[in-house]
Structure 1
């Protein structure tokens, strides 16, 4: 089974990206960075999503990201599904922060309940079949529009969205070319999926000093 241990982002300015991510989202070993100058233009075909428990946490996390240098793609707002917003990190990665709750039950904690990588694919059915054959278990499926896989023992969940629908969801044009600037860490051997997303064997992270907890 291809569990996801981490996500690696290829960034042009490693120092700047490290400064941003060390304060913006409070992620630890789930997110890794590496320097890369591979060309990429427009929509990169994926979004990273953080699920939290209440609107106050959405506002808190998005506020921290904006303070660290992110830009707003969609302001946080209520929808029929809950409450959420979309920002773009300085390195170009698109992040969605959302909750299914519409009311707060307490003060913001900054806690992240789920980390999901949403891949925009050309054919959800075919890509779903590809991943099922590699051992992933479908947790939710909405026809040819959306598929969510069970997280297994990994710390990151995988979901598939039609590319154009995902771009519309996060407020950008679906046009884009070049590198995805993303690698999915997990599994027993490297492979590339039908839409060009690369999976790498995840190595144990090097020991680092413990980061301070985000302030509320």
Structure 2
């Protein structure tokens, strides 16, 4: 089992991005970091970050805070077969899914986050799965060539693979995009670049 220590979002204005993530999600800066970048990037960057919470009220609270801090709504929060969730896009362009598997509130709404999940949109799920297994990651769940979820240590960022076009549809955006992913993943597994161009760097950098 391997883990993702942190993800780094490469943004045009690191100070503004850091303020947004503190105000919107109160994210731990040790797990979600920002740094400056002017690398060309257009359209969908090929990934989303999901904040998994305990109940629908928590989704609503996070979405309201994000919109209040300057995010754009891509999908309003709504019930679905799997639970309840919505999608927002941060001012820096990162797409965030806000989700819970619960369909009913069991207590007062909070902005407490249970899990952070990085979903990489890849062209060939089976090939990417094999690539990551060869680098020491352990598969937790796998649904053929559609979706893979890796087992990671508690209190770390979780990793999943999804077909890029399907992930764009889930996020409410066109799957088309060019240039930099504007994302770096930090893990003991690194350094390497995966088949879809996602960059991993070793912990401690």
What are the equivalent positions in structure 2 for 1:104-115 lying under 5 Å apart? 104-115=105-116
- The 8 Å contact of residues 123 and 163 in structure 2, kept in 1 or not, is answered as yes
Q: Given the superposition, is the C-alpha separation of residues 128 and 154 from structure 1 closer, same or farther in structure 2, using an over 3 Å criterion?
A: farther
Shift of 1:190: 1.1
What are the equivalent positions in structure 2 for 1:100-139 lying under 5 Å apart? 100-139=101-140
Aligned-residue CA RMSD in angstroms? Answer: 1.2
- The 8 Å contact of residues 3 and 154 in structure 1, kept in 2 or not, is answered as no
Distance 2:155 2:131 in 1: 19
SS of 1:4's partner is coil
Q: In structure 2, list runs of 5 or more residues that go unmatched.
A: none
Q: In structure 1, list runs of 5 or more residues that go unmatched.
A: 205-216
- What TM-score do the two structures reach when normalised by structure 2? 0.96
Counterpart for residue 36 of structure 1: 37
- What TM-score do the two structures reach when normalised by structure 1? 0.92
- The 8 Å contact of residues 96 and 170 in structure 1, kept in 2 or not, is answered as yes
Distance 1:3 1:154 in 2: 9
Query: Does residue 1:59 correspond to 2:52, yes or no?
Result: no
Distance 2:44 2:110 in 1: 31
What are the equivalent positions in structure 2 for 1:204-215 lying under 5 Å apart? none
Distance 1:167 1:38 in 2: 21
Counterpart for residue 25 of structure 1: 25
Runs of 4+ in 1 over 4 A off after TM superposition: none
Shift of 1:110: 1.2
- The 8 Å contact of residues 5 and 154 in structure 1, kept in 2 or not, is answered as no
Name the count of aligned residue pairs. 204
What are the equivalent positions in structure 2 for 1:64-213 lying under 5 Å apart? 64-152=65-153, 155-203=156-204
Shift of 1:2: 3.9
Which stretch of the first structure deviates more once superposed, 49-58 or 148-157? 148-157
